[in-house]
Amino acid sequence: MQITELRPFSKKVDLTVKVLEKNEVREVSSKLDNSTHKVTEALVGDASGTILLTLWDDGIDKVEIGKSYKIGNGYTSLFKNSLRLNIGRYGTLADAEAEVTEVNQENNLSEKEFPQQRRFGGGGRFGGRRNGGFNRGYQQRDSGGESGDGADESDSQGSDDGDME
């Protein structure tokens, strides 16, 4: 896989990259337990392009500018509509067997803006739409009626649509 093949929310990303630069380390507080963590980003690249790699705590010191690394089982995310590469809890970072010699610095995927996707209420079996995904002007009916036609009694009684009688 190469960097240009990455898309937002890619999983099981396996790449060999070269570290071009590292940003300053920042300290952030966790919203879960108020613990303090260190975070930074490193610009990494291959022959197809570059991307920002997010590094946390101990991972920061494992990465050196100018060295090549093999990233295993990484993933991508969006941070402020910008694509980021992450190693995460289940990913690996190891010295690369072969050095990355050519890096295309003209194609930085982290500089391209991606539309922010909704984090909640989306996805699911029917695309996350209300009423079971069949929201095309039809009213969803309860299928619990005894008639077997899917209409419940409150829909058929008192309706003046012309099919009754």
CATH of the domain at 74: 2.40.50.140
| Better-predicted residue by pLDDT, 87 or 164 | 87
Asked if residue 76 is part of any domain, the answer here is: yes
pLDDT (0 to 100) of residue 123:
53
Asked if residue 146 is part of any domain, the answer here is: no
pLDDT (0 to 100) of residue 122:
53
In this structure, what token pair is assigned to residue 16? 């060999």
How far apart (Å, rounded) are the C-alpha atoms in residues 97 and 115?
36
pLDDT (0 to 100) of residue 141:
53
Asked if residue 46 is part of any domain, the answer here is: yes
**pLDDT tens-digit profile of 109-148?**
988 888 766 555 555 555 555 545 444 454 555 555 544 4
- What value does the mean pLDDT take over residues 59-77? 95
Look up the domain containing 29 and give its range: 3-111
- What value does the mean pLDDT take over residues 13-34? 93
Asked if residue 164 is part of any domain, the answer here is: no
Asked if residue 87 is part of any domain, the answer here is: yes
Asked if residue 151 is part of any domain, the answer here is: no
Instruction: Give the type of residue at 62.
Output: K
Q: Is the pTM of the predicted complex or chain greater than 0.75?
A: no
Asked if residue 60 is part of any domain, the answer here is: yes
Number of domains comprising the chain = 1
Q: Provide, rounded to the nearest whole percent, the portion of the chain with pLDDT above 90.
A: 56
Instruction: Give the type of residue at 134.
Output: F
**pLDDT tens-digit profile of 76-115?**
999 888 899 999 889 999 999 999 999 999 999 988 888 7
Asked if residue 129 is part of any domain, the answer here is: no
Asked whether the predicted pLDDT for residue 158 surpasses 90, the reply is no
